[in-house]
Chains A and B, each alone.
Chain A
Amino acid sequence: MATYGSASTVALRQQYVPAAQRGPITRLLEDERRLAFCLMLPTMVLLALFIAYPFVNGILLAVTDTRVGMPGHFVGLDNFTKIWRDDIFHVAVWNTCLYTFVTTVFKLVLGLWLALLLNRHFRGKAFMRAFILLPFIIPTVLSTFAWKWMFDPTFSVLNWVLFHVGIIQTRINWLGDPVMAMVSVIIVNVWRGVPFYAISLLAGLQTISPELHEAAAIDGARAWNRFRHVTWPLLLPVTLVIVLFSVIQTFADFQLVYVLTGGGPANATQLFATYAYQLGIGTGLLSQGAAISLAIFPILLLVVIVQLIYIRRAETL
């Protein structure tokens, strides 16, 4: 006890050291701007190293004719004009937009439906909420391999079930048919993305006071009207943020398509990211791959700006 007492006295004394007796570093950090800079430094270093450097390097790469094993020369916007005339690039742009749009709509609708169900009281609620997250937790590559097996033309469990239930007469060539390949890729993306929507929207739903629904019920609003006039408008800001995140992620989606179809058949599921990979790493045309990756940037920027405007408007409702 005696030592403890004296130690605390020392600590106390240290707190009240007059300014003149403090070390030079302490005095430097007294200035708030310097302190702020020091505190932000780690974040700035990380951002510079892992975001800014690759981004700038990507731009530098895109204006050269670098290939694997050949340091390139400056060629200006040649790569961009090249991909602009590239038919496969056009297909990839269209595919990416279609893929993003369709999956986002399905993920939003299904996620919202699931969130509304999970927001009710029932036995095993906590368990279900955790369970629902599974597709989101499993590494995408793993689950996608499982899906690939389910889509296998010969061993497809989906075909087997559909056939035995009597819905189909002939096997569906899930990944071999251009249209079905896109459908398959969309199904898997929706399956993987719905939990994120459901849990995020559920969090949004739980911020809405149940009293509002009770008030609306007394006011004479039936279930659909309660959703339309109370739940939906109050959930809108959260929804927009979730959609924004999801669109950015889906737009740059890679692993799912890469594992499932590799962009095929005949580029039917080729997306920005898979095409950039195929050209840049697969073929070794590093500079063209970089140019394709960069081409996503203005499109996403536009999407982000538009959505941020909407979010701000929704929040001031």
Chain B
Amino acid sequence: MARVAMRGLNKKYDEVHAVIDVNLEIRDQEFVVLVGPSGCGKTTTLRMVAGLESITGGQITIDEKVVNELPPMDRDIAMVFQNYALYPHMTVYDNMAFGLKMRKFARPEINRRVQEAADILGIRELLKRKPRQLSGGQRQRVALGRAIVRHPQVFLFDEPLSNLDAKLRVQMRVELKKLHERLGTTAIYVTHDQVEAMTLGDRVVVMRDGRVQQVGDPMELYNQPANRFVAGFIGSPAMNFVPVRIAAQNGSLWAESESLRIKVPAPIAPRLGPYAGKQATLGVRPEDLRIANGADTKDLSFDVAIEVVERLGSEILLDVAAGPTTMVASVEPNVTAKVHERVALAINPDRMHFFDMQTEDAI
């Protein structure tokens, strides 16, 4: 069990500044997910923690001990790789036992630990097989087994589920969560899949272009995205963005574009005050839009043309056009809207987001 801290962490290659000033405190027993599009520096960060990548600047500590110069074997970590990296010439048992053998554990202890891990992961009957005789999911379990037999201070996961098919991925995700609950080992998990990040992470770190964009628990990222990037990255389908002009009229603020005119709700209005007469970006999630009925005020609704109707069973996604901007609305499955129909959509006033046009920061 351990805390991991990164302070002013930087990684520069010849031409690329892959990781820029990352500061992160990971608490004991915490499951932290690094998420972001490819090339955002999340894997490089993880590899620096593992000791597989040298550190250009800053500091990494594991339990207050600076590990910058320590080789991977002395950091007391275990890593699960994207392609599993199982030793193809060894049996499942030997794959799991290798780390213990290298650390000169006694044979009975190795045996006990491997059996224990095999029981936890339900791979006891596979111990004599070679990796190539296993399915993707089974290999994944062996890779996990190899990590947990060592009882390391920190688990590092590098996109461990991305090679599995969609159904198995969901299943393994749940198992990983249970496993973490059972073992309580501090874990750092890298993924590009925001659903994985939201479901697994106690806290989620969103990265882009080498920089941390926001750190927070999943609901915090969803409800209060720090900037437009996080707002667009977290949540599926993604948040709609509409460029608007903020106008002051009759003592209240209005967000206006060619096709809509929405009254800014009173709680947000003070923050938007300085933007009166200027441009901003309105962000609204598909699930915060619904078909307007007679009771809805004109102030919070606007007319759209339906272009595509996607019936997903539990919900319907409407791809709509409001003038030049296209948006997605997630509505109740009993809505009978048809393509080419014109409807009015109402915005949930408590869940409107505004972003600065230049900095893209949340207002």
Contacts and interface: CB of A to CB of B under 8 A. Distances in A.
Interface of A: 209, 211-212, 214-222, 225, 229-230, 233-234, 317
B78 interface: yes
Contact of B102 (A211, A212, A225, A317): A225
B88 A215 contact: no
A212 B86 CA distance: 7
A220 B52 contact: no
Given A215-B81, A218-B51, A230-B87, 8 more contacts: A209-B85, A216-B98, A216-B102, A217-B73, A219-B73, A220-B103, A221-B102, A234-B88
A221 B89 contact: no
A218 B87 CA distance: 13
A214 B88 contact: no
A214 B85 contact: yes
A218 B89 contact: no
Given A218-B78, A225-B102, A212 B85 contact: yes
A-B pairs with lowest CB-CB distance, top 7 = A219-B99, A211-B85, A220-B102, A215-B85, A220-B73, A218-B72, A233-B89
B102 A219 contact: yes
A217 B52 contact: yes
A87 to B, nearest CB: 48
B50 interface: yes
B183 to A, nearest CB: 18
Nearest to A229: B98
Residue picked from A216, A218, A233, most chain B C-beta under 10 Å: A218
A215 B73 CA distance: 10
Interface string B241-252: 000000000000
B222 to A, nearest CB: 34
Contact of A222 (B73, B85, B98): B73
A209 B83 contact: yes
B89 A234 contact: yes
Contacts of A225: 102
A138 B150 CA distance: 53
B98 A219 contact: yes
B207 interface: no
Contacts of B72: 214, 217-218
B353 to A, nearest CB: 40
20 contacts: A211-B81, A212-B85, A212-B87, A215-B146, A216-B87, A216-B102, A217-B51, A217-B52, A217-B71, A217-B73, A218-B79, A218-B99, A219-B98, A219-B102, A220-B102, A221-B98, A221-B102, A222-B73, A225-B102, A229-B87
A220 B98 CA distance: 9
B33 interface: no
Contacts of B146: 215, 219
A214 B52 contact: yes
A38 B83 CA distance: 45
A286 B9 CA distance: 78
B197 interface: no
Nearest to A236: B89
B77 interface: yes
Given A209-B83, A211-B83, A211-B85, A218 B73 contact: yes
B128 to A, nearest CB: 14
Interface string B80-106: 010101011100000000110011000
A233 B130 CA distance: 14
Contacts of B89: 233-234, 317
A221 B81 contact: no
A233 B51 CA distance: 25
A95 B133 CA distance: 47
Interface in B32-81: 50-52, 71-73, 77-79, 81
Contacts of A221: 73, 98, 102
Contact of A215 (B51, B71, B79): B79
Most buried by B among A215, A221, A230, A233: A215
A222 B103 CA distance: 10
Contacts of B85: 209, 211-212, 214-215
